Amino acid sequence: MTAPDWYGRGLQHIWLPYTQMKTTPAPLAVARTHGTRIVLEDRRELIDGIASWWTAVHGYNHPHIVQAVQAQAALMPHVMLGGLVHAQALTLAARLCAILPAKLERVFFCESGSVAVEVAMKMATQYWLNRNIRGRTKFLAFQGGYHGDTIATMAVCDPDEGMHALFKGLLPEQHVIALPRDDESIAAFDAFLERHAHELAGILVEPLVQGAGGMLFHDEHVLRRLRAAADRYELLLIFDEIFTGFGRTASMFACDAPAIAPDIVTLGKALTGGAAPLAATVATAKVFDAFWSDDPAHALMHGPTFMGHALGCAAANASLDLFERENRLLQANEIAVKLTHGLGPCLALKGVRDVRVRGAIGVVELEHIGDLNALKRRLLAEGVWVRPFRNIVYLTPALTIGDDDLMRLTAAVAKVIAAVGD
Ligand SMILES: *Cc1c(COP(=O)(O)O)cnc(C)c1O
């Protein structure tokens, strides 16, 4: 079948993400999606192992979400949130606060995760300024972390894997150290805070799973240590739950665990079930109170054009309905068992360094991937959509994925890794 006519013409004008446009293999033309399937223009149907960068937790085109977006589009696609509000945004704000740990009670909407993190950083910085405390403008973040691609968020990503070297001079200098997880890193963390806490606005971390930085896991006790340190030095603790939120780790949020609730949390990705771009920064009353004043200059100085987008909020409300009606967390736990079963044998393969599973995240870490494009081609030939990066092959399927599709995904990953190890 020949490519549709929009394809060749448009490829002369589109600029794709993280892509060397000169040498990249031709991107696949997608005609439509359904459930856990991606249907290509050439009629091939791929089993989706990634849920479109972890967003489509209920699978694609879930009828309840589609219907909610259609109804909202007919009523009102969008209206500015400056001076106006609408039912979808206010309903969503209240519902998010009802399911987040108790003290998180103010929601600021925007349209992408990176911006939600920027808003969190701005909130934390202005929190100190509003209280007339100067000099607390830096953040402590962690190696292996990823918080976005905008300028301020790049500066808090892992310095080696991120783009610090490339953009040196442009990025604000932040502190990025090892997560306090063993004696040595705990000592370094404590020593760091002794020296630098007074210049910090807050501590920023992806709780439990560092996603785009390498699918690295850590335990709750690391988060408890961060919470305790934040309390000791009066720092704001910010959890970036853009990846972990909405069931991915088999709890609704990583911050659901007792005694680790953050002062600010960022949400995105699966917030709308993958149907529309929407993100949120949620703050505790303690943070919000620093902005509550008769002085207009104490207002939070931010306001994205499309904040609280009605279609996005309608999709997010419908997604929360599905979490209420259907047991996604149980599904995530079941997926964990099947990922462990399906990917576990990879550990015996040549070139495999680690296999790890947490919730609906399955990771095979290789010594290295010599030819990433060749690996991607082999996965495609197996009829699956999986996007390995660096030395990581991972699966983050929709939480609704059926057993057969999940088995075909894990089998394809195991087969392809065995083949490249030969
Ligand atoms: C994806 C991601 C972001 C950035 O979100 P965008 O919507 O791509 O801007 C930030 N933090 C984490 C943990 C993410 O996974």
Contacts 24+ apart (CB under 8 A), 94-98: 95/317, 95/320, 96/267, 96/280, 96/282, 96/320, 97/282
Q: Is 268 in the pocket of ligand 1 (CB under 6 A)?
A: yes
- Between CA 201 and CA 198 the distance in angstroms is 8
Taking the whole predicted model, whether its pTM rises above 0.95 is answered as yes
Other Cβ atoms within 10 Å of 286 Cβ, number: 13
CA quadruple 69, 75, 80, 85: dihedral sign: negative
Q: Is 114 in the pocket of ligand 1 (CB under 6 A)?
A: yes
Fill in the amino acid letter for 399.
Answer: L
Per-residue three-class SS string for 256-314: HCCCCCCCEEEECHHHHCCCCCCEEEEEEHHHHHCCCCCCHHHCCCCCCCCCCCHHHHH
Burial degree of 149 (CB within 10 A; 0-12, 13-18, 19+): middle
Q: Is 211 in the pocket of ligand 1 (CB under 6 A)?
A: yes
SS3 132: coil
Q: Is 112 in the pocket of ligand 1 (CB under 6 A)?
A: yes
CA distances, 232 to each of 125, 191, 334 (Å): 18, 14, 39
- Between CA 228 and CA 203 the distance in angstroms is 11
Residues with a catalytic annotation lie at: 18, 146, 240, 269
pLDDT of 1: 59
Backbone angles phi, psi at 385, to 5 degrees: -105, 105
Atom of ligand 1 at shortest range from CA of 210: 13
Burial degree of 273 (CB within 10 A; 0-12, 13-18, 19+): buried
What is the CA(99)–ligand 1 centre distance, in A?
Answer: 21
Residuewise pLDDT in 10s, the chain (422 residues): 578 999 999 999 999 999 999 999 999 999 999 999 999 999 999 999 999 999 999 999 999 999 999 999 999 999 999 999 999 999 999 999 999 998 999 999 999 999 999 999 999 999 999 999 999 999 999 999 999 999 999 999 998 877 777 888 888 899 999 999 999 999 999 999 999 999 999 999 999 999 999 999 999 999 999 999 999 999 999 999 999 999 999 999 998 987 899 999 999 999 999 999 999 999 999 999 999 999 999 999 999 999 999 999 999 999 999 999 999 999 999 999 999 999 999 999 999 999 999 999 999 999 999 999 999 999 999 999 999 999 999 999 999 999 999 999 999 999 999 998 77
Residue to substitute in 55, 146, 217, 244 for testing ligand 1 pocket (most ligand atoms within 8 angstroms of CB): 146
Atom of ligand 1 at shortest range from CA of 241: 13
- Which residues in the chain are classed under CATH 3.40.640.10? 63-325
Fill in the amino acid letter for 96.
Answer: L
pLDDT of 227: 97
Residue to substitute in 241, 242, 392 for testing ligand 1 pocket (most ligand atoms within 8 angstroms of CB): 242
Atom of ligand 1 at shortest range from CA of 211: 15
The CATH architecture of the domain made up of 63-325 is: 3-Layer(aba) Sandwich (3.40)
pLDDT of 150: 95
Q: What is the dihedral of CA 313, 64, 362, 407, to 10 degrees?
A: -170
Atom of ligand 1 at shortest range from CA of 269: 7
